[in-house]
Amino acid sequence: MQLGTQVVSGVNYAFICRSKSVALNPLTAYCLVICYADTENQCSITKIKEIVKDSECPIGGLHCTKISEAFIAKIDSIEADYIVKAFNQAFQNIKGVTYFPELLIAKQVATGLNCHFIAKAKIADEEGTTNFKHVVINIFMNESKILKIEHL
């Protein structure tokens, strides 16, 4: 998923990428990848930041979602609707910023379910500034709460 571009003496591109290690027990991760293309269209990767990674133990722990599960707001299912409603409930009292769930990148069974998202944050300013955050919410029974908001 492309997050955005920045024009400098060339162009910086920001992407969220899903990776999988090549090993006997492969681990999946979601990463922020920044690429730079100069004025002659020579491209290079300038930054890779791991956002979440599968737990090494297959039982319990954090598990990255499949790409088919990631675009949670576009999936037509009871589970996806439940997770999106829980996301909206967690952020309903936040003032000055509106959050939108763009990608569901990982889940973890805890006391309830911890869900990791890439969320678009739209600031209530004159410009309508937007940026992206790594957001973690906990869903337990009929309540959801924010555990973490991290700038990418």
What does the pLDDT read at residue 9?
83
What is the average pLDDT across 99-122?
95
**One-letter amino acid for residue 60 of the chain:** G
* pTM for the structure as a whole: 0.90
Distance of CA 109 to the CA centre of its chain: 18
With a cut of 80, say whether residue 98 has pLDDT above it: yes
Q: Could you tell me the two tokens for 112?
A: 């309830």
- Give the single-character DSSP code of 123: E
- Joined together, the tokens standing for residue 46 give 């300038």
Question: According to the model, what pLDDT value does residue 102 have?
Answer: 95
DSSP 17-54: EEEE--SSS--EEEEEEEEEE-TT--EEEEEEEEEEE-
Secondary structure (3-state) at 117: strand
**Between residues 58 and 47, the one the model is more confident about:** 47
Among 103, 69, 85, smallest CA distance to 142 is for 85
